[in-house]
Structure 1
Amino acid sequence: MPNKILLTGFDAFGGATLNPSWLAVKALHGRQVLGHTVVAAQLPTVFDASLLELNALLKQHRPALVICVGQAGGRSALSLERVAINVNDAPIADNAGVQPVDTVVKQGAPAAYFTSLPIKAMLAALQAQEIPAEVSQTAGTFVCNHVFYGLMHLLATRRDLKHTRGGFVHVPWLPEQGTPSMPLDDIVRGLRLAVRCAMLVQHDAVLGAGTTS
């Protein structure tokens, strides 16, 4: 039975000197969550190369749970991403100078994948501890979405990962990066709560037939 939890963050990009996604997951490296060991790894903010690294990490660790984490400047809460789309459309160049426009992440693959994390349960757990959190309907079209989509495609198509669940969380800037922001300690605490909830809850409750939106 897999006894690892894989958390990934990104290196700094766009002229920045740090990335809170990596600082936060690095702070959780080696922690124990419900008998599982957290493994933190850094992905390059580079199209294609990020997925090659993620694939290697999945083969090495065969985790029970994978949460990829990225920075979302302008957001004020931990954003639990619902859906990854099969589109690369970069507003800026990645760290290798590549800037794809309207290309696919994976040729011949579905248009989108939903997260397999219990994002509504995670939202409730975070809000109960007064950590700003939200369910997000878009992970963008930069390297974060590229990795999110690539992760979900791997989990959907690799037999050795059929019991692995995964998804993506965006975190705000740190205070020294600008506003809105969130202190690193709060981001770390929120991610740890999110991981614990994802390990305890397999699926969000299905809405009843009489429920309306």
Structure 2
Amino acid sequence: MKKLLLTGFEAFLEFPINPTTSIAQSLNGEQYNGYEIIGEVLTVDFHKSGKQLVELMEQHKPDAIISLGLAAGRNCITPERIAINCNDGPVDNEGHKPDGEAIYEDGADGYFSTLPIKKIVERLKEEKLPAKISNTAGAYLCNNVMYHGLHYAKQHGLTIPSGFIHIPASHALAVEKNMPSWSEEDLLKGIKIAIETL
């Protein structure tokens, strides 16, 4: 059976709950749409997160990769179009705060997602779940992990679907932060729909 590597992140910054954690954990070991799902939770660390993804790619040799991240404040699911070769943003969980340096000195300026992002958005909308393509994954760890996955695939000649999807806050997080939110059931449903497009 084909393997899908599905990653989430631990809690970070001022957000005590990261809904991507529970999605990755709940789908770990499940079989869905012809894939065995390998769900993993990454650290929020500029020095480690991308390397963790690459190590998981080398260990499991997945046929597809979907990495998930929290986009607190967004009200829809947003597949990311592009990852850029830049680390920047607020402090990570280990106290690192990069200032615009390259992820890879010899890397491409950017890599486009190889997930079927338009199809994902169309299918989500068909199921009455708000979605749109995002043209910036920022320069924090979400972008970092997406870039690492696509860079590794490019360097090793892998033609697998790989990319990143941002999700809104869960209700549990929104109670603390007063922001747009979805139920955990709908967040999970949305990611399953994304997997169905592969």
Both proteins in one fold, TM over 0.5:
yes
What's the secondary structure of 2:38's corresponding residue? strand
Match of 1:43 in 2: 42
Match of 1:175 in 2: 171
Larger Rg: 1
Which of residues 94, 97, 100 in structure 2 aligns to 1:96?
Answer: 94
What's the Cα RMSD here?
1.2
CA contact (8 A) 2:67 2:163 kept: yes
What's the secondary structure of 2:5's corresponding residue? strand
CA contact (8 A) 1:155 1:165 kept: no
User: Could you tell me how far apart the structure 2 residues matched to 1:171 and 1:77 are?
Assistant: 7
- Where do 5+ consecutive residues of structure 2 fail to align? none
User: Could you tell me how far apart the structure 2 residues matched to 1:34 and 1:83 are?
Assistant: 25
CA contact (8 A) 1:25 1:188 kept: no
User: Could you tell me how far apart the structure 2 residues matched to 1:171 and 1:29 are?
Assistant: 18
Offset of 1:16 from its aligned partner?
Answer: 2.8
In structure 2, what residue type is equivalent to 1:103? E
After the TM superposition, which segments of 4 or more aligned residues of structure 1 sit over 3 Å from their partners? Answer: none
CA contact (8 A) 1:80 1:123 kept: yes
- Where do 5+ consecutive residues of structure 1 fail to align? 200-213
Match of 2:188 in 1: 188
User: Could you tell me how far apart the structure 2 residues matched to 1:60 and 1:33 are?
Assistant: 21
Range with bigger deviation, 16-25 or 136-145: 16-25
In structure 2, what residue type is equivalent to 1:121? K
Match of 2:117 in 1: 119
Aligned pair count reads 194
CA contact (8 A) 1:5 1:39 kept: yes
Offset of 1:94 from its aligned partner?
Answer: 0.1
**1:151-183: CA deviation from partner (whole Å, max 9, x where unpaired):** 110111114xx1322000001111232211111
User: Could you tell me how far apart the structure 2 residues matched to 1:136 and 1:122 are?
Assistant: 12
Question: Is 1:64 aligned with 2:60?
Answer: no
CA contact (8 A) 1:28 1:192 kept: no
